[in-house]
A and B are shown apart, each in its own frame.
Chain A
C-alpha cells in the first residue's frame, strides 16, 4: 500500500501544486515587495508605488488566497486519489 503507484502520483501532484504556490508566494513578497520594487516603481498607488503597497498590504492578501486555494485543491486531490479521510 505504501508504495502503490497512485500514492506516488498523489505525492507528485502535491509537490507540483506546492511549487506553483511557493513561486507566487516568493514573487509577491521577495519579488514585488522587496527586490523587484524598482521594476514596478512606475505604478503609483496612493502617494507611493506598487512595491510599497505589496510590502504592506498586497503580499498578505496574496498569502491568504494561496492558502485557501491550496487547501481546496488538496482536499479535492485527496478524493481524486482516494486517500481522503472517510
Chain B
C-alpha cells in the first residue's frame, strides 16, 4: 500500500469518528450548545480542555521552532503550561462560581455595564480571530502535505473542513469529540517520538532520552556514549550555528514567556471550559487535569525538537560534517514529497552535485565555505511548521506512523479551531445580539446567528491566513499577547478588587487592546495585510518584538483601570456583594440558573 492511501485511511478514519460523535451528540437547546449542560466530569473536561488548548501551534509548529533555536524557544514550553497555574488560582474557580455562559457576560455583570460587555466582546473577537489564523496556517500545511497539493490549496481545503465540522455541533458535540481528538493527537505525537528516542538513545521515554547518551551505530559520524545535547551542540558549532543549549537574551525570553502565560489565562475559549464543570472544587481539579494531559505532549516536544534537528543534520551530512555532504540524487524521498508543497527547498548553489547545509552568515560558516568552495547554505527553504509532520519520514519510520501523525496534526488544528469558533459565535449571538441588539430573539434565531458568525469568522481567518504574519506558533503567540493585554487584567481585577468600576474597566481594556493592536499593526501591517506595515523590526520600541508585547499592554490595562477607577465613583454596594459571593464556593449550584 502506498503512503497516500495510508494517509487517507488514517485521516479518513479519525474524521469519521469525530463527525460520528458530533452528529450523535448534536446540540438541541442553547444551554447545551454553549456549556454542555454543565455535566462534564473534571477528568473528561481536562482531556477536552487539553485538546481544545493544544492546537496546530503546539502539535505542528512548536517542536519545529524549538528545533531551530534550541533553548531560547523553551519559552513556548514554559509559557503555554505556566498559564494554567494562573488560571487555576486566579480565575477558573471564581468564574465557575459566577455561573454564566460567556466571558463577556461576567465582564458585563461585574462591571454593571453594557459598554464593558461590548468591549469584552470586541476583545474576544480580535483575540480569537488572530488565533484562528494560526490554526488555519497549521491545518493548511498538514492538508497540503497529506493531499500533496500546494499550501494555498491545502489552506482552502482546511477551512472547508473546519467550517462543516464546527457548524454541526455545539459544545457538547465538541466536548466528546475533543476527548477523541485528544486521544488521536497524543498517540500520534508520542509514538514517533518514542521510536526516535529509542533509535538515538535507547531510552523509550523521549523526555528522558533528551538527557541521555547516543546509541552505537548511528550514521553521520556520531560518537556513541556522548550525551545527545552535547553531540547536537558540537555539530551545530561545526556548521556555524549557535549552540543548541545557549541563551541569547534572557530578559526578552522572560518577557515572551510572561506574555504567553498571562495570555493563556485570558483566552476566552479556554476559560469557557471551566464553566462546564459541575462544581467550584471541580474547576480547580479540572485545571490540574488539563495540565496533566497537556504535559504529556509538552514534556515530549523538546525531545522531538532536539532529535529532529540532529536527524536533519545527519541526513544532510551522512558522512559527518567533516566528510562529503549528501548528494542531490541521494536525497531521501521525504525531500521530494515536501518540495511539492513549496515549504522545503534545496538549491545546488556551487554546482558540485551535493547539498551543503550550514550557517553561511557566521564566522565558522564563512571559514567552512572558504575551505570547501561553498557558495551559501543550499538547504534554502525549511519551513519550521513541517518539522513535526516530516519527523517520522526523517527518522525513516514505517508508513503507518506517517499516516498517524497526519491525522494527529489535523485533530489538533481542528479541535482548537472549533473551540475558538464556538467562543466567537457565542460572544456574537449571546452577548451582542441576544442581550444588546435584540433581546426577544428566539432560541432558533440565536443558534442561527451563532452559526452565521462562525462562517464569517472562518472566511476572514482563511483570507488572512493566505499571508500569515508568521509560522503557526508565532501567529498564535500574537493572539496570546492580545489576550494578556485585554481580558486577563480585567477578569483578575474583577475578582481581586472591589475598587475597579465600570469606567476603569472599559478604559483599561481599551488601553490594553488598542496599544497592543497598534504595536502589532505598525510592524506587521494593518490587520496583518502584507505591505501595509509602517515600521520594520529594526525600529522596535526598546527592542521589544511584536510577539513579546502582551505584558506591556497588560501593565497599561492595570494602570489605566486603577487610575480611572480612583478618579471616579465607588463600585455600587450590590456589585461589591457580587464580588464577595464570587470569592466563596458555597451556593455555586444556585448561581447556575440562567
Contact = CB atoms under 8 A, between A and B. Distances in A.
B258 A30 contact: yes
A71 B93 CA distance: 10
A34 to B, nearest CB: 5
Given A45-B211, A60-B77, A67 B84 contact: yes
A34 B253 contact: yes
B254 A35 contact: yes
A78 B226 CA distance: 52
B77 A2 contact: no
A47 B285 CA distance: 36
Most A-side CB within 10 Å, residue of B84, B281, B577: B281
A84 B586 contact: yes
A85 B254 CA distance: 39
B299 A85 contact: no
A18 B580 CA distance: 17
B321 to A, nearest CB: 18
Contacts of A66: 85
A59 B295 CA distance: 11
Contacts of A34: 75, 78, 247, 250, 253-254, 257
Contacts of B100: none
Interface stretch (B227-235, B354-362, B450-458): B227-235
B77 A55 contact: yes
A56 B77 contact: yes
A46 B210 contact: yes
Given A2-B581, A67-B291, A83-B585, A37 B74 contact: no
Contacts of A22: 85-86, 89
Contacts of B269: none
Contact of A64 (B75, B251, B288): B288
A21 B85 contact: yes
Interface residues of B, number: 59
Interface string B73-98: 01101100110111011100100000
Given A67-B88, A71-B88, A78 B281 contact: yes
Contact of A70 (B88, B258, B279, B280): B88
Contacts of A78: 281, 585-586
Contacts of B298: 60
A22 B90 CA distance: 10
B580 A2 contact: yes
B85 A63 contact: yes
A55 B74 contact: yes
B344 interface: no
A48 B85 CA distance: 27
B78 A33 contact: yes
Interface string B578-589: 001101111111
A83 B253 contact: no
Contacts, number: 148
A36 B585 CA distance: 38
Given A18-B90, A35-B254, A47 B230 contact: yes
A82 B584 CA distance: 10
Contacts of A45: 211
A46 B233 CA distance: 13
Given A10-B584, A60-B295, A85-B589, A70 B245 contact: no
Contacts of B228: 46-47
B299 A60 contact: yes
Contacts of A7: 580, 583-584
A82 B587 CA distance: 12
Interface string B54-86: 000000000000000001001101100110111
A18 B250 CA distance: 26
B202 to A, nearest CB: 13
B207 interface: yes
Contacts of B583: 7, 11, 14
B227 A47 contact: yes
Contact of B211 (A46, A61, A84): A46
B62 to A, nearest CB: 12
B75 to A, nearest CB: 8
B295 to A, nearest CB: 5
A60 B86 CA distance: 13
B281 A84 contact: yes
B284 interface: yes
A59 B71 CA distance: 14
B302 interface: yes
B572 to A, nearest CB: 14
Given A48-B229, A67-B291, 17 more contacts: A7-B583, A22-B86, A37-B247, A52-B245, A56-B302, A57-B302, A61-B295, A66-B85, A68-B288, A70-B89, A71-B281, A71-B284, A82-B586, A83-B584, A83-B585, A84-B585, A86-B586
Interface of B: 71, 74-75, 77-78, 81-82, 84-86, 88-90, 93, 207, 210-213, 226-231, 233, 245, 247, 250-251, 253-254, 257-258, 261, 279-281, 284-285, 287-288, 291-292, 295, 298-299, 302, 576-577, 580-581, 583-589
In the complex, the 8 A-B pairs of residues with the closest C-beta atoms, listed nearest first: A47-B227, A46-B211, A55-B74, A71-B284, A47-B229, A47-B230, A2-B580, A56-B302
8 contacts: A29-B78, A47-B227, A55-B77, A55-B78, A59-B78, A61-B299, A71-B287, A78-B585
